[in-house]
Structure formats: structure tokens, C-alpha cells
Chains A and B, each alone.
Chain A
Amino acid sequence: NAGVMQNPRHLVRRRGQEARLRCSPVKGHSHVYWYRQLPEEGLKFMVYLQKENIIDESGMPKERFSAEFPKEGPSILRIQQVVRGDSAAYFCASSLPPTGGALKKLFFGSGTQLSVL
């Protein structure tokens, strides 16, 4: 049952280090989304990617955050020089390509809990 796989489940970093979060989408899905959930808050959209292409990164902080979804391999969310405020659960979701007006259903991974010490 190859759903969305995220790793690691838990990641601990010290301030100033880099965090790399991985997401393997459902087999056959070419679209990936990253969301962040801060404690006691909802899911905040970060970025929407297609293979080798960023479709919408309007939710990404301007600095330190980047995302990619290469032709081969998982999608990576990279946070450089982490700060305590980056501590959150990061969820990845995938979907089939949207087909003109049809419902787009997202399948979520179990998330990566990032803790910055």
C-alpha cells in the first residue's frame, strides 16, 4: 500500500543547522504539496510542485526555505539555518494532475515533526 511516505517522522535540529524533509508521493502522482502545521494552528499552505517545476510557492517564507521535486526521487523541503519558530509538523500531500474542473483529492503523508532546540 504505497501511500505518501514522509521521512523522517521526527527530526531534531539545533538552531543554525539545516533540515531536509523528504516526501515520496503516491505512485503515479506527479503533483506534490507541502503544508506546515504550527502548534494549535491549522494547515498552512507552503508550496505546490510538479516534477521539476514549482507551480505556486506563495506560502513559502522568502528566506531559508526551498523546495524541489526532481524528475527522479522524492520531493525535498529544505530549511536552512533553522530557528525555534520553524518547529512544526510538516505535511506533504500528493495528487494526480488536475483535470479541468474535476475534484482534486489530496493524499497526505503522516508528517515530519521538526523540533529545533
Chain B
Amino acid sequence: DQQVKQNSPSLSVQEGRISILNCDYTNSMFDYFLWYKKYPAEGPTFLISISSIKDKNEDGRFTVFLNKSAKHLSLHIVPSQPGDSAVYFCAADNNDMRFGAGTRLTVKP
């Protein structure tokens, strides 16, 4: 069962522009939503999270938006930097944490 879906396997943006990564979920019982970032040959690292009772959380260049009615969340990175190039995983938590398939972001100089 794929409770968390990231339908875009890859995204390429120019340095300085906005990156928008999307995620959809099916289980309305999720309490928290998280974004993890993964570099090659490393484990995922936590980036930002949002509680199900909020619709926006901002941390520096990273903002996560949650639309509960649409069961959709997105991660905005602005301005994008080459060091942001990585695979981004969306995750949702309700006792067990479930991950999407990931989106590979490439930020071109």
C-alpha cells in the first residue's frame, strides 16, 4: 500500500529560482508530515516538518505547505542552491513513518 506518493521522480531548476516538491497522501490519520533529504551513500536527514493542525511551516529557505482537504503537501525551496541537489523524501507519521518514493532535485548553477 502506497500511503505516501511523490509522483515526480525528478526536478531540475536553475540556481536562485524556486524549487517546489510535491507529495500526496491517502491516510487522513497522519499526525505529522516531514521532509527528509538524502545525499548519495548517506542516510536521509531530517529537513523540516509540519503538524497536521497547521498549514504552513517555514525554516529559512524551506517552507512546507499542507492542504489537508486535498491530502497534499509541498516543499518550497527559495532561492535554490546547487548544494540543495539531493533526493527529497516526503514522510507521514502515525505511529509508523511512511515514506514516498522520493524526488531527485538538481539545481543547476
Judge whether A48 and B96 touch: CB under 8 Å. Answer: yes
The reply on A45 being an interface residue by CB < 8 A is yes
Other-chain contact of A91, B43, B51, B96, B102 (Cβ < 8 Å): B43
Task: Write the chain A residue with the least CB distance to B4.
Answer: A42
Judge whether B96 and A43 touch: CB under 8 Å. Answer: no
Judge whether A42 and B96 touch: CB under 8 Å. Answer: no
* Contact residues in B for A6 (Cβ distance below 8 Å): 43
User: Which of A43, A48, A93 has most chain B Cβ within 10 Å?
Assistant: A43
Helix, strand, loop or mixed for chain B's interface? Answer: strand
When A41-B101, A56-B96, A109-B43 are in contact, do A104 and B32 touch as well, CB less than 8 Å? yes
Chain B residues within 8 Å of chain A by Cβ, number: 24
Judge whether A111 and B43 touch: CB under 8 Å. Answer: yes
Q: Bound state CA distance, A60 and B93, in angstroms? A: 18
Judge whether A35 and B101 touch: CB under 8 Å. Answer: no
Task: With both chains docked as a complex, state the minimum distance between the C-beta of B39 and any C-beta of chain A, in angstroms.
Answer: 10
Per-residue interface assignment for chain B, residues 70 to 82, with 1 indicating a CB less than 8 Å from any chain A CB and 0 otherwise: 0000000000000
Number of A-B contacts (CB under 8 A): 59
* Contact residues in B for A45 (Cβ distance below 8 Å): 96-99
Judge whether B45 and A108 touch: CB under 8 Å. Answer: yes
The reply on A80 being an interface residue by CB < 8 A is no
Judge whether A103 and B43 touch: CB under 8 Å. Answer: no
Q: Bound state CA distance, A75 and B9, in angstroms? A: 32
Judge whether B46 and A42 touch: CB under 8 Å. Answer: no
Task: With both chains docked as a complex, state the minimum distance between the C-beta of A84 and any C-beta of chain B, in angstroms.
Answer: 22
The reply on B31 being an interface residue by CB < 8 A is yes
When A4-B43, A104-B93, A110-B43 are in contact, do A42 and B99 touch as well, CB less than 8 Å? yes
Q: Bound state CA distance, A6 and B34, in angstroms? A: 23
Judge whether A106 and B98 touch: CB under 8 Å. Answer: no
User: Which of A56, A105, A110 has most chain B Cβ within 10 Å?
Assistant: A105
User: Which B residues have a C-beta under 8 Å from some C-beta of A?
Assistant: 6, 9, 31-32, 34, 36, 41-46, 49, 51, 89, 93, 95-102
